[in-house]
């Protein structure tokens, strides 16, 4: 978390903000403005201006201008700064894990009075990410990142491996790979990718954050997450999986030359593989993530964002109308897929249309998006906390040290828990327990 975000969080806490503050802040949506309304929208999605142009052509009385922004901490900091100065955009892109920070700083409006019809268009797990465990609604989901298992079908056939249906089978397969071809690993554990670990924790049943009124609960070291850490720690300690981080030149080479033959990842994986392992086109397939209990069908999410409306917007009703159109209208969502390369959160758009064919890199798997939609429907619901960046930063530090020192992974989860709680309390949030 950047220092600026910390300062703004502290300012919000000092004002005794409740998590539901956005519900009563700003305009209640009863805009009495007549005539043309002009809305500003901050987004980082490539080509989204082309999609917005469709809206503007059909809605002369509600015009939207797009301003391209950076993603991540920089976007959050800029929104919080603009909100504090009293001139935020009417709408802004918000990653799911960043939304609680924006809500706690009274930057995002509660738009629940306008979204009753939209709720049914999204899977429950996705919808839960924009409610923060309450009846309030703070954004309209845009894209999602359901997780699945990518595997080299050709190498699996060559080594006589079965696609693992459970995590116990996954561990057995990892050992078999090392025995059959010591130059290869089934996959790697990455201490540099907390979002990946968080998605796997969701699948295991973890719920890191909860909120009741103005009090947060933090359970990063719950039984599910501890079990997950112990599982991967055992694989790394035994040498059955690699322990190098993802998104490095070494990782790219290992994917490209077949040193790594599986990757638990998200639906956007084809773009990564096509760019980082171009020699393997047509050799990968996807399958459901291995399950903790045989016969279950659950997954987690890695990535995704929403369209939020500023609490200080003078045109909340019109902004919500646009945000709902952008993320549910068939033509608009088709544009987001084509121009922005997103995987839509709206369930009706997850197959057919722009997704009727598989990604070019997966031409060997015609049912790619049919399976992806199936997995997306099993994604666990999750509530994010207002300082997830602290949790994530601690993950990187604690797990990297655990790998270097060859110490048990559950201790790293304990460090994540403590750092998260300490930071919340430091910034004035109430924390139960």
Residues 94 and 139: beta-carbon distance below 8 Å: yes
Angstrom CA distances, 159 to 51, 57, 58, 138, 184, stand at 46, 56, 56, 49, 11
Q: Are residues 55 and 178 in the same domain?
A: no
State whether 166 and 282 are in the same domain.
Answer: yes
Q: Helix (H, G, I), strand (E, B), or coil: what is residue 63?
A: strand
Q: Is 200 helix (H, G, I), strand (E, B) or coil?
A: helix
pLDDT, one tens digit per residue, over 315-361 is 999 999 999 999 999 999 999 999 999 999 999 999 999 999 999 99
How crowded is residue 172: how many other Cβ atoms within 10 Å of its Cβ?
16
Structure confidence by residue, pLDDT tens digits, 76-110: 999 999 999 999 999 999 999 999 999 999 999 99
Q: Which DSSP letter does residue 348 get?
A: G
Of 376, 398, 418, the residue at which a domain comes to its end is 376
pLDDT at 262 over 90: yes
The 10 Å Cβ neighbour count of residue 357 is 11
**pLDDT attached to residue 34:** 59
Do both 19 and 167 map to the same domain? Answer: no
Q: Tell whether the model's pLDDT for residue 6 goes beyond 50.
A: no
Q: How far apart are CA 424 and CA 417, in angstroms?
A: 11
* Mean of pLDDT values over 216-240: 98
Task: Quote the pLDDT of residue 73.
Answer: 86
Residues of the chain with pLDDT > 70, as a percent, come to 92
Residues in contact with 315: Cβ distance below 8 Å, sequence separation at least 6, in sequence order: 27, 31, 33, 37, 39, 62, 90
Residue 250: pLDDT over 90: yes
User: How many angstroms separate the CA atoms of 368 and 282, rounded?
Assistant: 12
Task: Give, for 151, the enclosing helix (H) or strand (E).
Answer: strand 140-152
Based on the fold, state whether residues 284 and 424 are members of the same structural domain: yes
Is 50 exceeded by the pLDDT of residue 12? no
- Predicted confidence (pLDDT) at residue 35 exceeds the cutoff of 90: no
Q: How far is CA 390 from CA 246, 305, 416, in A?
A: 20, 19, 8
- Domain stop point among 376, 395, 421: 376
pLDDT at 88: 97
User: Are 121 and 94 found together in one domain?
Assistant: yes
Residue 214: predicted pLDDT? 87
Question: Cα separation of 25 and 105, whole Å?
Answer: 11
Domain that includes residue 88, residue range: 3-145+301-376
The number of distinct structural domains making up the chain is 2
Whether the Cβ atoms of residue 116 and residue 324 lie closer than 8 Å to each other: no
Shared domain check, 312 and 291: no
pLDDT single digits (tens) 38-62: 999 999 999 999 999 999 999 999 9
DSSP annotation string for 265-330: EETTHHHHHHHH-GGGTT-EEEEPPPBSSTT---B-EEEEEEEEEBTT-S-HHHHHHHHHHHHHSH
- Host H or E run for residue 218: strand 215-218
- The CA–CA distances, whole Å, from 340 to 49, 50, 197, 234, 271 equal 10, 10, 25, 39, 12
Other C-beta atoms within 10 Å of 47: how many?
13
- Quote the pLDDT of residue 133: 75
Last residue of a domain, one of 357, 376, 395: 376
Taking the C-alpha atoms of residue 121 and residue 261, their distance in angstroms, rounded to an integer, is: 36
Confidence of residue 31 (pLDDT cuts 50, 70, 90): low
174 and 105 together in one domain: no
φ, ψ of residue 328 in degrees (nearest 5): -130, -25
- What is the rounded CA–CA span in Å between residue 79 and residue 96? 15
Tokens 């010591």 sit on residue: 182
Q: Does the structure show a pLDDT above 50 at 7?
A: no
Whole-number pLDDT of residue 134: 79
Q: Are strands 262-266 and 140-152 parallel, antiparallel or unpaired?
A: antiparallel
Same domain (yes/no): 198, 260: yes
Using the predicted structure, report yes or no on whether residue 5 has a pLDDT greater than 90. no
pLDDT tens per residue across span 414-429: 999 999 999 999 999 9
Distance of CA 297 to the CA centre of its chain: 19
The pLDDT value recorded for residue 213 is 87
- How far from chain centre, in Å, is Cα 113? 25
Instruction: Supply the CATH number for residue 353's domain.
Output: 3.40.190.10
Same domain for 359 and 397, yes or no, is no
Q: What are the pLDDT digits (tens) for 181-193?
A: 999 999 999 999 9
Helix (H) or strand (E) holding 62: strand 62-68
Same domain? 107 vs 228: no
The partner residues of 122 in beta bridges, in order of sequence, read 346
Same domain, 89 and 216: no
Q: Is the pLDDT of residue 295 over 90?
A: yes
DSSP 3-state of 242: strand
Average pLDDT over residues 140-155: 97
Say yes or no: 88 and 186 in one domain: no
Interatomic CA distance for residues 222 and 425, integer angstroms: 19
Q: What is the mean pLDDT of the chain?
A: 92
- Whether the per-residue pLDDT at 16 is higher than 70: the answer is no
The strand pairing partners of 301, in sequence order, are 146
């Amino acid at each position: 978390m950047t220092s600026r975000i910390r300062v703004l969080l502290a300012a919000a806490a000092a004002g005794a903000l409740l998590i539901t503050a956005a519900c009563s802040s700003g305009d209640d949506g009863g805009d009495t403005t007549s005539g043309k309304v002009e809305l500003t929208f901050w987004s980082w999605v490539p080509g989204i201006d082309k999609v917005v142009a469709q809206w503007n052509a059909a809605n002369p009385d509600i015009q939207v201008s797009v301003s391209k922004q950076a993603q991540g901490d920089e976007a959050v900091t800029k929104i919080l700064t603009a909100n504090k100065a009293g001139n935020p955009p009417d709408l802004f892109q918000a990653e799911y894990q960043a939304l609680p920070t924006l809500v706690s700083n009274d930057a995002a409006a509660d738009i629940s009075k306008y979204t009753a019809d939209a709720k049914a268009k999204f899977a429950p797990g996705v919808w839960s990410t924009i409610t923060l465990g309450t009846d309030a609604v703070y954004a309209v989901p845009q894209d999602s990142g359901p997780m699945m298992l990518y595997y080299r079908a050709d190498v699996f056939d060559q080594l006589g491996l079965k696609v693992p249906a459970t995590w116990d089978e996954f561990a057995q397969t990892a050992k078999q790979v090392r025995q059959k071809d010591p130059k290869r690993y089934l996959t790697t554990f990455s201490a540099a990718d907390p979002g990946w670990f968080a998605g796997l924790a969701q699948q295991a049943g973890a719920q890191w954050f909860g909120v009741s009124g103005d009090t947060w609960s933090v359970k990063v070291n719950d039984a599910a997450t501890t079990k997950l850490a112990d599982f991967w720690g055992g694989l790394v300690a035994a040498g059955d999986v690699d322990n190098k981080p993802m998104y490095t030149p070494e990782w790219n080479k290992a994917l490209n030359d077949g040193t790594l033959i599986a990757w638990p990842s998200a639906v956007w994986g084809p773009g990564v593989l096509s760019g980082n392992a171009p020699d393997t086109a047509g050799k990968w397939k996807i399958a459901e993530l291995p399950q903790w209990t045989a016969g279950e069908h659950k997954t987690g999410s890695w990535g995704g964002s929403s369209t939020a409306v500023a609490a200080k917007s003078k045109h909340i009703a019109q902004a919500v109308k646009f945000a709902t159109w952008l993320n549910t209208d068939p033509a608009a969502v088709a544009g987001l897929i084509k121009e922005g390369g997103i995987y839509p959160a709206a369930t009706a758009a997850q197959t057919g249309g722009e997704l009727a064919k598989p990604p070019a890199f997966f031409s060997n798997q015609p049912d790619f998006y049919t399976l992806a939609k199936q997995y997306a429907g099993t994604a666990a619901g999750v509530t994010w906390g207002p300082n997830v960046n602290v949790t994530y930063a601690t993950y990187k530090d604690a797990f990297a040290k655990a790998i270097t020192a060859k110490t048990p992974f559950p201790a790293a989860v304990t460090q994540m828990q403590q750092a998260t709680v300490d930071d919340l309390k430091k910034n004035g949030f109430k924390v139960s327990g």
